[in-house]
Structure 1
Amino acid sequence: MLATLLAAAGGLLAFGMLAEEIIEGEALAFDRNILLALRNPADLSDPIGPRWLEEVARDITALGSHVVLTLVTLAVVGFLLIARKRGAAVLVAVSVGGGTLLGTLLKLLFGRARPDLVPHAVEVYSASFPSGHAMLSAVTYLTLGALLMRVQARPGERLYILAVAIALTLLVGASRVYLGVHWPSDVLAGWCVGAAWAILCWTAALWLQRRGEVEPPPGNGTAENGPAG
């Protein structure tokens, strides 16, 4: 539990350092170079790569939208309630709901403008820092991944779940930069604060599980598993 708290503190520290860079304007050169590297020099409205790649990026970025993440969260919470795992349901709802509120407050606090260096490939309506898609993807997928990992006995199963959660988070964030709707530093900041929030929720899940308010991990000698052999 101490290790997870230290990891969360590391994510928050990284976010603070990025925020300081943004306020001082020192991240602009880094952001500009990456955005331009992802565009056709002869036509800045054209992302590099084949045409189908842009459509793939739009599909991937939708996995981090408020609509998709809300539907996923409601589906998971509904299942947990039906399964009579109210502690886990509350954990998921508070994690995603709290992360959404935190992201909104941070956007209002910093009020950073969206990139105007290249045309946007999708419509956007809110401030730029931190990336809401990157942050909420980290909050949702990492929290759900952590919850699933706690009920898996085999290390390989846990590693697979964690890898999928991280891959989804990274792909969504990268798609925002590729589509030109976020500065790279926005996405990095979203990953940092989103992962920190997910880790804190993971820590809460550990604490609740030890108190018996979240389902115990398999292999703990309960009657459900039965005797070995």
Structure 2
Amino acid sequence: LITTATVIYLLLIRRRGTALLIFVAVAGGQLLSSLLKVGVDRPRPELVSHLVNETSLSFPSGHAMLSAVTYLTLGSLAARFLPGRTTKVYVLFLAVLTTVLVGVSRVYLGVHWPSDVLAGWCAGFAWAMLCWLVA
């Protein structure tokens, strides 16, 4: 929802390049996450009963990876245009905090090993930075 709203807004203000960057970053991150899951083929933990039902593979955590891709990309783009250092730090802090909370929730819900989440964060960060450098 946040990604779609941001892309539409950027298209409305005629920032097509930035809209494309966000779309490619998030869509590419989703594709990369799916490919990594199939490549690793790790089952979900069965130590505790899951608080939610998940049917996909475990490694890496897609939620952790996509939250890193989405929120770090959006946060870094927003920080680029915001005035003042305090505001920039605040927006980047919110992006990192949201990413961390999403990852921690996946372990709390019992649907991922901590290593799944850590791998998702690392892969998401790497993908977001690659997209940023290419842009």
TM-score by length of 1: 0.58
Larger-Rg structure: 1
Aligned equivalent of 1:138, options 50, 68, 71: 68
Aligned equivalent of 1:150, options 69, 80, 97: 80
Aligned equivalent of 1:112, options 30, 42, 61: 42
* Aligned ranges 1:195-214 → 2 under 5 Å: 195-205=125-135
* Aligned ranges 1:176-187 → 2 under 5 Å: 176-187=106-117
C-alpha contact 1:120 1:179 (8 A) present in aligned 2: yes
CA distance in 1 between partners of 2:43 and 2:53 (Å): 14
Residue type of the partner of 2:15? K
Alignment correspondent of 1:73: 3
Instruction: Measure how far apart 1:100 and its partner are.
Output: 0.4
Note if 1:191 corresponds to 2:121. yes
**Structure 2 counterpart SS, 1:182:** coil
CA distance in 2 between partners of 1:204 and 1:161 (Å): 22
Aligned residue pair count: 135
What percent identity do the matched residue pairs reach?
Answer: 60
CA distance in 2 between partners of 1:203 and 1:151 (Å): 17
Give per-residue Cα distances to partners, 1:3-28, cap 9 Å, x unaligned: xxxxxxxxxxxxxxxxxxxxxxxxxx
Alignment correspondent of 1:171: 101
After superposition, the CA RMSD in angstroms is 0.9
CA distance in 1 between partners of 2:88 and 2:132 (Å): 14
Gaps of 5+ in 2: none
Gaps of 5+ in 1: 1-70, 206-229
CA distance in 2 between partners of 1:163 and 1:83 (Å): 26
CA distance in 2 between partners of 1:121 and 1:82 (Å): 40
Instruction: Measure how far apart 1:118 and its partner are.
Output: 0.6
CA distance in 2 between partners of 1:87 and 1:161 (Å): 22
Q: Which has the higher helix share?
A: 2
